[in-house]
Amino acid sequence: MADKTPVILVPMGFSEQSIQALDQALVFAKAMKASILLLAINNNDIHLREIFGVKDRKEDIHDKLEAKLNSIAAEHSASSGVAIEAMLTEGVVYEEIDRVSKEKDVDLVIMGTNGKPQNLRKRFIGSNAFRTVTLVDPPVITIKGIRNISSIKTIIFPLVLDRRSKEKVGPALHYARLFGAKIKVVSVLIEEDKEKVLKAHLKQVETFIKDHGIECTSEIIKPSKQQKGIVRNTLKYAYENEGDLMIITEDSKERDFTDFFIGTDVQAMIYHSEIPVMSITPSEVKWAAMWENM
């Protein structure tokens, strides 16, 4: 049986961020030798109606959405050489993304976000991005569109004192190999009495990554009293070290108080990061074998 062609799902909301997410998805598709599933969801949203110049809520915009979606798919496929399938459904945005990702056995979701919600429309879009991250099984890359990438040379790997955060190692190794990238492991020291165990934690991960043939460094950030905060310091480090992709762990099913990347921190990273953020939902078994001897 032939190997399955990887599938990248790109939700299309016809906004600037959605188009940028598709452009960035092409970078991943070429590296992964993947096809793209371009998904538009007709949820009768006022924002969609504004884009297509339809004010009457009773008027069906299905045909206009379908025509525009097919046009975008055809144009980007022709210019990139990547196979792009267009799909139009109806329903709640994040629920449809989850349903289609399962139905199509999607390997990766890449979607745009316009940053921290400030008004009703932005709050809706931001909510869709975060709810998608917490709902779907495959990794989700959220893209703000400020620092667009043509390749991935540096992966930023924030690490916390939680075994689950190590589950990012598998995906990090995978994408580092695909792009020939190096990995920078970083941790923000919040409690001084945890520094010794944190250093050991970082060294363990750095050694493991190097043993798998990937260039890697690790560093502990000791924030000043004026510059405290996991997200702020991690993003500052990412920008200073020219990071192209950040990988974080998201776990909506079970929380561990030692994991700093929970709840609002995950949201803040997604909303504020100028570089793409890949959110991984930990699996109990998928990467567990990697750590059996550690």
Does the residue 94 lie in any domain? yes
pLDDT at 258 exceeding the cut of 70:
no
7, β-bridge pairs = 35
Least-confidence region, from 35-39, 72-76, 264-268, 280-284: 280-284
Number of domains in the chain: 2
Does the residue 1 lie in any domain? no
Is pLDDT larger for residue 60 or for residue 7? 7
The range of the structural domain enclosing residue 128 comes to: 7-143
Find the CATH number of the domain harbouring 250: 3.40.50.620
pLDDT digits (tens, 9 = 90+) for 91-131: 999 999 999 999 999 999 999 886 544 443 444 345 678 78
Distance CA 241, CA 217 (A): 11
110, β-bridge pairs = 141
pLDDT at 248 exceeding the cut of 50:
yes
Is pLDDT larger for residue 286 or for residue 104? 104
Question: What is the residue-averaged pLDDT of the chain?
Answer: 82
- Determine phi and psi for 155, rounding to 5 degrees: -105, 125
Q: Answer yes or no: do 21 and 93 share one domain.
A: yes
pLDDT at 127: 66
- Of 113, 143, 173, the position where a domain reaches its end is 143
Are 164 and 251 spatial neighbours (Cβ–Cβ below 8 Å)? yes
- In order, the DSSP letters of the chain are -PPPPPEEEEE--SSHHHHHHHHHHHHHHHHHT-EEEEEEEE---HHHHHHTT---TTS--HHHHHHHHHHHHHHHHHHH---EEEEEEES-HHHHHHHHHHHTT-SEEEEE--SS--SHHHHHHHHHHHHHHHH-SS-EEEE-SSS--SS--EEEEE--S-GGGGGGHHHHHHHHHHHT-EEEEEEE---GGGHHHHHHHHHHHHHHHHHTT--EEEEEE---GGG--HHHHHHHHHHHTT-SEEEEE--SS---TT-SSSTHHHHHHHHH-SS-EEEE---SSTTGGGGTT-
Does the residue 29 lie in any domain? yes
Q: What is the arithmetic mean of pLDDT over 245-266? A: 58
Strands 140-143, 277-280: parallel, antiparallel or unpaired by DSSP?
Answer: antiparallel
Q: Answer yes or no: do 11 and 114 share one domain.
A: yes
- Determine phi and psi for 224, rounding to 5 degrees: -75, 165
pLDDT at 8 exceeding the cut of 80:
yes
pLDDT digits (tens, 9 = 90+) for 152-191: 999 999 987 555 566 678 889 999 999 999 999 999 988 7
Q: Give the confidence band of 2 by pLDDT, cuts at 50, 70, 90.
A: low
Distance CA 271, CA 117 (A): 8
Q: Answer yes or no: do 131 and 202 share one domain.
A: no
pLDDT digits (tens, 9 = 90+) for 37-96: 999 998 877 777 777 777 666 567 888 899 999 999 999 999 999 999 999 999 999 999
Q: Describe the crossing of helices 264-272 and 120-135 by its angle, rounded to 10 degrees.
A: 120
Q: Answer yes or no: do 137 and 167 share one domain.
A: no
Query: 158 — alpha (psi -120 to 50), left (phi > 0) or beta?
Result: beta
Residue in 264, 240, 260 with CA at minimum distance from that of residue 156: 240
Distance CA 81, CA 71 (A): 15
Least-confidence region, from 95-99, 125-129, 219-223, 264-268: 125-129
| Reported pTM | 0.85
Distance CA 47, CA 55 (A): 10
pLDDT digits (tens, 9 = 90+) for 16-39: 889 999 999 999 999 999 999 999
Q: Answer yes or no: do 287 and 158 share one domain.
A: yes
